[in-house]
Amino acid sequence: MRIGALADMTGVPTKTIRYWESEGLIPAPARTPSGYRSYSPGAAERLDFIRHSQAAGLTLKQIRQILDISDDGKPPCEHVATAVADRLAEVDARLAELHANRTHLEQLAQRAATQDPTNCEGFCSIIHQ
């Protein structure tokens, strides 16, 4: 099938399909005599896997590793489990950082609510006290 049909079937834009191909995430397709890309039916399944992996927060490098393992005929689930656990740890760390930032901003907002603007000194005593 041509790239436009594949894009319509999967919801992945043609530009993205070409990019993923250039990054080695999908193998270069066969070409028609007129030079058009001709994708196999399995390409749609591969694109869906890549999209779902990205939605889970995996990087293209991680996704490529998973696909390479699978392409070698080995089950990639152990590698996927590690990648997912690593991503979960990253998300948890980011959430903790965001929570600390929110707490700090709440303190600044409380300080701002009680401050008389005419008593502002320096750059701003709300932030630097």
pLDDT band at 86 (very low <50, low <70, confident <90, very high): very high
Give me 44's structure tokens.
Answer: 């749609």
pLDDT tens-digit map of 9-61: 999 999 999 999 999 999 999 999 999 999 998 999 999 999 999 999 999 99
- Whole-prediction pTM: 0.77
pLDDT for the residue 123: 79
Give the mean pLDDT of the chain: 93
Range of the domain at 7: 1-56
Enumerate residues 6+ apart whose C-beta is below 8 A from 29.
21, 37, 38, 39, 40, 43
Give me 20's structure tokens.
Answer: 């993923």
Task: Please list the residues that pair with 31 across neighbouring strands.
Answer: 37
Give me 74's structure tokens.
Answer: 């080995």
Residue 65 domain-assigned?
A: no
Q: How many angstroms separate the CA atoms of 76 and 61, rounded?
A: 14
CATH no. for residue 39? 1.10.1660.10
Residue 66 domain-assigned?
A: no
pLDDT (average), residues 63-80: 95
pLDDT for the residue 127: 84
Q: Work out how many domains the chain is built from and give that number.
A: 2
Residue 31's SS3 state is strand
Same domain, 128 and 90: yes
pLDDT for the residue 26: 94
Residue 120 domain-assigned?
A: yes
Closest to 2 (Cα-Cα) out of 19, 24, 17: 17
